[in-house]
């Protein structure tokens, strides 16, 4: 009798169980700056900041649908009223390799070290995911060299060239000039 009751009780509890809300991922702190995993409320601000730099070829244009689909790859530094001070994303190429993409700091927030914090947070996430190498295509040469990256040729990443070719030739030529890599 007792055995029968204890066997059926857990099943009844499971039937009544409510869906468990997703727990927010832990934030990453660099010095005094907190870098959060992005959540859905951040999406419009992420898209706006990212696309601010797209006309100059510094970032690739992103839609809200794209960011929604890749939200787990985005990290943000939040300001007041839902504003995004800066953001960064990881783009996985292989289990061992990821690219830093969508690195952007709001114009009035630049020069305070937020770019460095975002790169550090992206590296942390890459390590957590098991990537052993990270690279970035950027014009910010001093910034990446200061962060321990070395200048290399995009030719060492044929997967990246293939993706650029499917987008535009002009982005391929930018990539040839400023490709930075780091072992994690």
Ligand X SMILES: CC(C)(COP(=O)(O)OP(=O)(O)OC[C@H]1O[C@@H](n2cnc3c(N)ncnc32)[C@H](O)[C@@H]1OP(=O)(O)O)[C@@H](O)C(=O)NCCC(=O)NCCS
The one among 33, 115, 122, 126 contacting ligand X by CB under 6 A: 115
The one among 9, 65, 139, 184 contacting ligand X by CB under 6 A: 139
The one among 45, 46, 98, 136 contacting ligand X by CB under 6 A: 136
Which distant-in-sequence residues (6+ apart) come within 8 Å of 20 by Cβ?
none
Task: Classify residue 113 by its DSSP letter.
Answer: S
Q: According to the binding rule CB under 6 A, does residue 121 interact with ligand X?
A: no
Least spacing, CB of residue 42 vs ligand X, in Å:
16
For residue 102, how many other CB atoms are within 10 A of its CB?
Answer: 26
For 151-180, the three-class secondary structure string (H helix, E strand, C coil) is EECHHHCHHHHHHHHCCCHHHHHHHHHCEE
Which residue, 43 or 114, has its beta carbon nearer to ligand X?
114
The one among 34, 48, 83, 116 contacting ligand X by CB under 6 A: 116
Of 4-12, 14-22, 103-111, 152-160, the segment contacting ligand X by CB under 6 A is 103-111
- Cβ burial of 125 (10 Å; 0-12, 13-18, 19+) is buried
Among residue numbers 51 through 90, which ones bind ligand X (CB under 6 A)?
53, 58-59
Which residue, 8 or 35, has its beta carbon nearer to ligand X?
35
Which residue, 43 or 179, has its beta carbon nearer to ligand X?
179
DSSP 19-59: PPPPPPPPPEEETTEEEEEP-GGGHHHHHHHHHHSGGGTSS
- Site residues (CB under 6 A) for ligand X? 53, 58-59, 100, 103-105, 110-116, 136, 138-140, 142-143
């Amino acid at each position: 009798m007792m055995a029968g009751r204890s066997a059926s009780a857990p099943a009844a509890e499971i039937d009544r169980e409510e869906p468990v809300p997703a727990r927010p991922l832990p934030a990453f702190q660099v010095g005094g700056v907190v870098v959060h995993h992005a959540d859905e409320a951040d999406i419009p601000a992420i898209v706006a900041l990212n696309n601010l730099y797209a006309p100059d070829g510094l970032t690739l244009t992103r839609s809200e649908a794209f960011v929604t689909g890749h939200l787990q790859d985005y990290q943000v530094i939040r300001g007041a009223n839902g504003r995004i001070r800066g953001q960064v994303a990881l783009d996985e190429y292989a289990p061992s390799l990821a690219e830093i993409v969508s690195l952007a700091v709001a114009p009035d927030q630049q020069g305070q070290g937020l770019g460095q914090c975002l790169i550090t947070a992206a590296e942390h996430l890459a390590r957590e995911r098991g990537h052993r190498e990270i690279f970035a295509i950027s014009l910010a040469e001093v910034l990446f060299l200061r962060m321990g990256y070395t200048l290399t040729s995009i030719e060492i990443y044929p997967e990246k060239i293939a993706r650029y070719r499917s987008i535009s030739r002009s982005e391929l030529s930018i990539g040839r000039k400023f490709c930075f890599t780091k072992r994690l």
